[in-house]
Amino acid sequence: MWDKQEDMKIVGDCTNITRSFCDLTDVWVNMTEMYIPKVVGFRGNAALVSCMGSFFLAMDTLPLDPPEFEIIRFTDHVSVNVKFQSVAPKILNEEELQFYLALIEEQSGGIVKKHKPKTNGNITENFSYVINKLIPKTNYCVSVYFEPKDPRKINRSPLKCTLFQPGWESGMTEFAGRTIHQP
């Protein structure tokens, strides 16, 4: 593998192998760089074949799985707790993940609102987002996903829903596709 700032380097896990595939995700360190893999086939000490290619790790070609999340209903708002640990690919650094930060989509009464959370600090840690100004006796459904450059490539999480009922006790209501009442 080679990038513009380094000489070619040998990828240890891809040396002296007989399989036709080698996972290079651990050596990709920058999504904005072009990488040039070089494959050399040997028999003994003699090189039989050598080929090179190049590719650009454009984010719009890599769909990101949505982050895990839970919704917690309070007496006057809903809190969306987003968990990034399981979703952040090894090849994304914090700055790149910030650019594609999750959108929180709220659906209620046939209206869809998109929330783009602003975060400070380490985006690879969990964060909470509050949805307030809720209408009583209304079912609120939430989905969380990363915003791709191509809107046709959105990979939404399953909806998690809760019925906003002022005066009810606060509590967790996170079940995909159904509403859970907690009187």
Domains of the chain: 12-57 (no CATH), 61-172 (2.60.40.10)
11-15, 16-20, 83-87: the lowest-pLDDT one: 83-87
In 10 A of CB 82, how many CB atoms? 23
How far is the C-alpha of 68 from the C-alpha of 112, rounded, in Å?
A: 20
Stronger pLDDT, 153 or 101, i.e. the higher one: 153
Rg value, the chain, Cα = 23
Q: What is the mean pLDDT of the chain?
A: 73
**Whether pLDDT at 122 is above 70:** no
**Whether pLDDT at 183 is above 60:** no
Digit-coded pLDDT (tens) for 92-115: 555 555 556 667 888 888 888 988
Digit-coded pLDDT (tens) for 51-101: 888 766 655 455 677 888 999 988 888 899 988 655 555 555 555 555 566
DSSP 13-50: GGSS--SS----TTT---TTSEE--EEEEEETTEEEEE
Q: CA angle, 18 as apex, 41 and 5 as ends, to 5°?
A: 55
What size, in residues, is the chain? 183
